[in-house]
Amino acid sequence: MNKSFKMDKSLNTKTPFVSREKIEEIMKVYPTPFYLYDEKGILENARNLYKAFSWCEGFREYFAVKATPNPEILRLLKTVGCGADCSSFAELKMSEICGFSGDDIMFSSNETPVEEFEYANKLNAIINLDDITHIEYLKNNGGIPKKICLRFNPGGDFKIGTSFMGKPGEAKYGMMREQLSEAIKILKNEGVKEFGLHSFLASNTLGNEYYPALAKLMFEVVLDLSKEEGVTFSFVNLSGGIGIPYKLDEKPNDIFLIGEKIKEAYDEIIKKNGLKLKIFTELGRFMLAPFGALIAKVIHEKHIYKEYIGVDACSVNLMRPMMYGAYHHITVLGKEKQKEDHVYDIVGNLCENSDKFAIDRKLPKIELGDILFIHDTGAHGFSMGYNYNGRLRSAEILLKENGDFELIRRKETIDDYFRTLSILPGFEEYK
Ligand SMILES: *Cc1c(COP(=O)(O)O)cnc(C)c1O
């Protein structure tokens, strides 16, 4: 495969993984708006991740369930060997129902309610402790397992060379270096035999340097702690953070290069010192974002001080542009070859002016009934949905490798929305 060609191509355009004809076929059964996921892309990408780490015995990706919490997506990733990274009761429960248990589940939570520790323990999940004080919670709620993971926060600023990556010192997660030593002493006394180290220092990173730099930092801490405390570390969990190119001028990460660079650090720090570690990841965005799209139909156009295109989806379906000012590329399906000679704001129907999927976006001339493919929404898209303005969550559909499509979550109905009000007069029927 010629990788550089693929990269160059993605600099000028983004190609939807589905045609307008296929979408029209789907729309006959399931009306817009809906999320569409690309089974082929998901599987290929996941297999490549495993290939990139094939040098590392026991490598495993624990898919960050919060990115795309759909059972069929979890089951699909399971076929490639992935586990599930959970941080709430609902995510644990969904993973359990999908057949994940024991070492298949990483429980990387924070500010954890005690019942969730208890449940994670019941499933024999690998528990990733966010804080030293949680040892006591765990002890009193299900007990301390033989294998445990500790979340590390190195503090200060995280830089790679001179480039600034993030401010761990301002982040609520993880333990300080001294606390790791202390936690290990306590846990050793409680009978823990096997340790793991976890850290998440930067989100949506591009440029291939983040994971190798993080791995190096963590390998060094593991080496120090193994010597200092005389304990066995069996894995490091590099967590999430590998980014994807949302914008046209951004380059995709090269997962094979990332794997190679981590191997160099591994050989240098871990192997050379006679240690052995499994490498775990908890990627969300990298696994799913490019392989999901929000599909919306143009239902209004408005010409005032600016040109507005109103669609049948809104920010409750996709919050990232409103919340982070995030860029999501938009293709008008069937007009891929037309000149982008119009400038529009693409807006939803919330009574909230920030409800815009795109601002001053150059696109081909849009007409009523056109279908928009909002790219790279397969992770942290549907899952961040909410119900503001009484708007309902959309359906999710899986486009299979063979071209079939399958409903993997029905759209919300007014019954779902009123169900929690069924305790009130007039709403009894919505139980
Ligand atoms: C959100 C999250 C992830 C996934 O992050 P991505 O940016 O989607 O890769 C992994 N681990 C933890 C603990 C998280 O909170």
Report the pLDDT value the prediction gives residue 6, as an integer from 0 to 100: 46
Give the pLDDT band of residue 211 (cuts 50, 70, 90): very high
Strands 292-303 and 371-374: antiparallel
Which residue, judged by its Cα, is nearest atom 9 of ligand 1?
A: 240
In a domain, 400, yes or no: yes
Tens-place pLDDT, residues 391-405 = 999 999 999 999 999
Q: How far is CA 233 from CA 28, 182, 349, 352, 360, in A?
A: 54, 15, 52, 50, 52
Report the number of distinct structural domains present in the chain: 2
pLDDT at 420 over 90: yes
Alpha-carbon distance of 235 to 278, in angstroms, equals 4
pLDDT at 162 over 90: no
Phi, psi (rounded to 5 degrees) for 297: -110, 145
Report the pLDDT value the prediction gives residue 259, as an integer from 0 to 100: 98
Q: Contact, 379 vs 69, CB < 8 A?
A: no
Report the pLDDT value the prediction gives residue 227, as an integer from 0 to 100: 97
Which residue, judged by its Cα, is nearest atom 10 of ligand 1?
A: 240
Indicate which CATH number applies to the domain containing 401. 2.40.37.10
CA of 155 to the centre of ligand 1 (A): 19
pLDDT at 188 over 80: yes
Residues 317 and 186 in one domain: no
CB of residue 284 inside a 6 A radius of ligand 1: yes
CB of residue 88 inside a 6 A radius of ligand 1: no
pLDDT at 9 over 50: no
Alpha-carbon distance of 2 to 149, in angstroms, equals 39
CB of residue 149 inside a 6 A radius of ligand 1: no
Domain span at 132: 101-283
CA of 372 to the centre of ligand 1 (A): 28
pLDDT at 3 over 50: no
pLDDT, average across residues 155-184: 95
Residue 392: partners with Cβ closer than 8 Å, 6 or more residues away: 316, 411, 412, 413, 414, 416, 417
pLDDT, average across residues 219-228: 98
Query: Final residue of a domain: which of 246, 266, 283?
Result: 283
CB of residue 203 inside a 6 A radius of ligand 1: yes
CB of residue 67 inside a 6 A radius of ligand 1: yes
CB of residue 85 inside a 6 A radius of ligand 1: yes
In a domain, 429, yes or no: no
pLDDT at 5 over 60: no
**What pTM was computed for the model?**
0.96
Q: Contact, 231 vs 184, CB < 8 A?
A: yes
Tell me the two tokens of residue 179. Answer: 């606390």
CB of residue 62 inside a 6 A radius of ligand 1: no
Indicate which CATH number applies to the domain containing 246. 3.20.20.10
**What number of other Cβ atoms are within 10 A of residue 245's Cβ?**
20
CB of residue 200 inside a 6 A radius of ligand 1: yes
pLDDT at 66 over 90: yes
Give the pLDDT band of residue 141 (cuts 50, 70, 90): confident
Residues 308 and 181 in one domain: no
Longest CA–CA span in the chain (Å) reads: 71
Tens-place pLDDT, residues 76-90 = 999 999 999 999 999
pLDDT, average across residues 70-74: 98
CA of 349 to the centre of ligand 1 (A): 30
Residues 279 and 320 in one domain: no
Residue 247: partners with Cβ closer than 8 Å, 6 or more residues away: 327, 329
* Closest-lying ligand 1 atom to the alpha carbon of residue 282: 10
Residues 295 and 277 in one domain: no
Residues 278 and 394 in one domain: no
Residues 138 and 212 in one domain: yes
CA of 14 to the centre of ligand 1 (A): 25
CA of 19 to the centre of ligand 1 (A): 31
Residues 191 and 297 in one domain: no
Which residue, judged by its Cα, is nearest atom 13 of ligand 1?
A: 108
Report the pLDDT value the prediction gives residue 13, as an integer from 0 to 100: 87
In a mutational test of the pocket of ligand 1, which residue from 149, 282, 383 has the highest number of ligand atoms less than 8 Å from its CB?
282
CA of 213 to the centre of ligand 1 (A): 17
Residues 247 and 320 in one domain: no
Which residue, judged by its Cα, is nearest atom 3 of ligand 1?
A: 240
CA of 288 to the centre of ligand 1 (A): 12
Alpha-carbon distance of 74 to 37, in angstroms, equals 12
In a domain, 29, yes or no: no
